[in-house]
Copies of this chain bind each other. A is one copy, B any other.
Amino acid sequence: MTQAIDATTHHHTHATFDKLKCKECGTEYELQAKHVCEMCFGPVEVTYDYDALRQRVSRETIEAGPNSIWRYRPFLPVQTDNPIDVGTGMTPLVNARRLARQLGLKKLYIKNDAVNMPTLSFKDRVVSVALTRARELGFSTVSCASTGNLANSTAAIAAHAGLDCCVFIPADLEAGKVLGTLIYNPTVMAVKGNYDQVNRLCSEVANTHGWGFVNINLRPYYSEGSKTLGFEVAEQLGWQLPDHIVAPLASGSLFTKIHKGFQEFIKVGLVDDKSVRFSGAQAEGCSPIASAFREGRDFITPVKPNTIAKSIAIGNPADGVYALDVARKTNGNIESVNDAEIIDGIKLLAETEGIFTETAGGTTIAVLKKLVEAGKIDPDETTVAYITGNGLKTQEAVQGYIGEPLTIEPKLDAFERALERSHTLGRLEWQQVLV
């Protein structure tokens, strides 16, 4: 990349990450903006000096850090002591007693990134890391290929950091996701096609323009941000790992990076070694990883997405095979649910726990339910379900599937009549009476 300034390829004294390395053939590279191995076209990943990390990091140093993902800075691929910190991360780990009872589990937690900062999805984690690194590498324009949440996050954090921003989205996204990007005034390219077409176009643009695409040429740095969803759960459980986690699968990156996060905490001695089962959730209308899992394949056959769960509708998932591998080697599962089950999942979580999630979260809850019913999650397992985005962004999905208000005159007797009849008839029928 032409924007890369010199300093960025040198090792700083305090950096704990040391190179890029191909996940397939092991070829090593300097710390530049590069995501594909020149030898074998495999994905490259950031590596760390874990001996240095073990020396530098303790539970106490982390607890004394900022109330954001940056408390884990030594595990993240940035050199600066001044990362872009808008309060991202440290979202609640909610003890979901009412949902647990409903499902028949003893100990269930919701990791609630529906309220992540600033743009209400886990993408704020990866973007905070990517844009901090983009600045270090000298980029002045940042970009992304997005199913919606990533565009929201890139546009917002770029605005805060004063970086130019151009995002690419499929043209048929939910209104809340489009408006929730435009408000920050980036350039928005709405591409007539699905996410996989958007992504292909962006790969071409990344090769011809000198922009920092957070999930293309900056992907090795960006994806490391998802490890914080593993770190935080471990810390919030009192420095121990859960027995089982359920998370949505889009590209598969989030899933594999939560796993990497747990492994790193074990490696540097922050938590005891323990096997954690990893189960993945997909929407039936876009379930290439679940299909491969079910059929025992170790390769992914791309599909054309057709589901209301647009934020996870990736038909050709970049990290699909790695996600498959994690599920298999941890004795987990990958399951899919249909759109009706996704809506029921959204409602179930809202009614039992007061958490309003988007379609991806509905997918996760519906798969959680399905796995419990199939005996694939043991009631005694301490289970964590990852909720990755907010329901206010995908209002279309539930419109028509929830109740309606009872419209009344501002008078006590009007209220009393409405209340009485709602009790007698049940609320849904009463609404029909009103109409």
Does A351 reach chain B (CB closer than 8 Å)? yes
Stretch in A49-57, A84-92, A262-270 with 4+ CB within 8 Å of B = A84-92
In the docked arrangement, what's the CA distance between A22 and B161, Å?
48
Judge whether B192 and A410 touch: CB under 8 Å: yes
Does A184 reach chain B (CB closer than 8 Å)? yes
Kindly list chain B residues whose C-beta atoms are within 8 Å of the C-beta of A395. 175-176, 179
Judge whether A398 and B179 touch: CB under 8 Å: yes
Judge whether B118 and A187 touch: CB under 8 Å: no
Tier of interface size on chain A: 35 or more
In the docked arrangement, what's the CA distance between A90 and B391, Å?
22
Does A158 reach chain B (CB closer than 8 Å)? yes
Q: Quick one: closest B residue to A92, CB to CB? A: B87
Does A65 reach chain B (CB closer than 8 Å)? no
Does A44 reach chain B (CB closer than 8 Å)? no
User: A124 to nearest B CB, angstroms?
Assistant: 10
Judge whether B201 and A356 touch: CB under 8 Å: no
Kindly list chain B residues whose C-beta atoms are within 8 Å of the C-beta of A197. 410
**Neighbour of A190 across the interface among B158, B190, B408, CB < 8 A:** B408
Does A46 reach chain B (CB closer than 8 Å)? no
Judge whether B92 and A117 touch: CB under 8 Å: yes
Residues of chain A in range 176-209 having any CB-CB distance to chain B below 8 Å: 176, 178-180, 182-185, 187-193, 197-198, 200-201, 204-205, 208
Known A-B contacts A403-B185, A408-B190; the reply to A94 vs B90 at CB < 8 A is: no
Closest 6 CB pairs of A and B: A87-B92, A190-B405, A156-B354, A160-B354, A193-B410, A188-B405
